[in-house]
Amino acid sequence: MPAIELDRTDLQLLAELQRSGRQTNAELAERVHLSASACLRRVQRLEREGVIAGYRAEVDPDRLGLGLQAFVRVQLARHDADAITAFGEFVNAWDEVVACHALTGDMDYLLQIVVKDLDHFSHFLLDRLLNQAGVADVNSSFVLRTVKAFRGMPLPW
């Protein structure tokens, strides 16, 4: 899907919504120096065009008892269409996988995993990833601390 034309006001709206998606339309309009009706029309256009793909709450994993994060690089045993489809279906069914990216290079996928603890990770790795998903090799790295968390997409100012 091609990129759409965004002016400076659109970019300001996106920056504000990425910073605080729960603000009212009136608050948003004031921050970007628009009337409330003009602001609402622009936001609705950004939603309709698919630039704003949705809204969600940012949840603190530690407060949910999810104290361990890992990045797992995965190499599949087979690379035919059925194996790739099956792997995608497995990954999408597992709540522990919060993101999955297909890669270039020596590994096929990068999974971001969030679990309670090392025991939970071990069960996930052995019982699901290695046992069910047609995986030939994995390489895991545990997050010691997050230096910069996701704060939104970079905008082309």
Cβ–Cβ < 8 Å for 19, 27:
no
pLDDT in tens, 73-94: 999 999 999 999 999 999 999 9
Cα separation, 154 vs 152, whole angstroms: 7
pLDDT in tens, the chain (157 residues): 788 899 999 999 999 999 999 999 999 999 999 999 999 999 999 999 999 999 999 999 999 999 999 999 999 999 999 999 999 999 999 999 999 999 999 999 999 999 999 999 999 999 999 998 799 999 999 999 999 999 899 998 7
CATH of 8-48, one of 1.10.760.10, 1.10.10.10, 3.40.50.1100, 1.10.3720.10: 1.10.10.10
Q: What number of other Cβ atoms are within 10 A of residue 13's Cβ?
A: 24
**Topology (CATH) of 61-142:** Alpha-Beta Plaits (3.30.70)
